[in-house]
Structure 1
Amino acid sequence: MSESTVGQVVSVQSRKGTKREYETVIILRPNVNKNGILELVHKMQGVFEKYGARLLKIENWGSRTLAFPIKRSPTGIYLYWRFLGGSDIVHEFERNLQISESVLRYYTVRVEDDVDPDARPSEITEDLLQAVAEPPPEPEPQPEPVREEEDRFVSDDDGDDEERRR
């Protein structure tokens, strides 16, 4: 860096005609029903349309146990969103999430800069939007492996170790 640019904020601008790609994971209250999820999705879809952003993907990851309770909820419903837009859509999207009663927590990450919107088709259909309100099927429980009883050496601290079965 030259001396003339030290201390100055250097702005990185996107190429003309490109957008940034973002991911957001939203944790909803566990008592949010199908209609509540659909209402949130349709509201956010309106925000995307208003700001000229494109929703690429949305998935319902189902109900999961949280690492720690958030607003006294030990579980939450996870929704994954992937979209194209500018920083203005992220600000408005997060503002709407913040005032929503059904949202416990959210986190947005910029995945990539300078994405050509024509190169990233949207996977969103009306059927997918209806399906996102349904929780994913529960995975089948995996049987625990059968463990054979092992011989172990046990020390009884009197110096004459012997082999014992536990």
Structure 2
Amino acid sequence: MYFGESMKIYERIRELSRKYGLRNEEKMILGTDGSVTNLLEILFEGDVIVKTINQKIVDDVNYRTVILEVNDIPLVYATSKTPFKNIEHGLRESIKRDLLSADIPIGRILKMHNLETRREIIDIDVKEVDKEVRKLLKTDRKILPQRTYNIIHNNKILMQITEIFNVGEHL
């Protein structure tokens, strides 16, 4: 579902909150069109550390799975898909290098390269997560808030990101 067509983001979050009792901080993280890294650092008063779980390039598309932690607390399981062809040629190699060689949050990579971007939320939900994700997030909760969004640069999808949040039990 693309938001703005049939349902506004706040309406979807209100619906999920009534059903699942989301905390205000979870609602903010689900609905932000800004940096999740920045919000996590504010909420948990520490630096976000990225732990890469898996990364591979297939057909010039980078697939990356990470855990975002603050103060040794795993808070977000995130997957990203970055088609390198959509990155301006002059920036392509340096962004590719940053994605591949360092555990840097995507929000910081965009900021380091001074890219003007916007986030277009595709889906917000609270869904069941598999056992491996729960293990990586160190939680017994079977359903967790999650969202998928595109990062748009020069009217092209620079990245598609899905985030699963385990924030609520740590606030």
TM-score class, shorter: under 0.3
Indicate the structure with greater helix content: 2
Q: TM-score, structure 1 length as denominator?
A: 0.26
Between the two structures, name the one with larger relative contact order (CA 8 Å, sep ≥ 6): 1
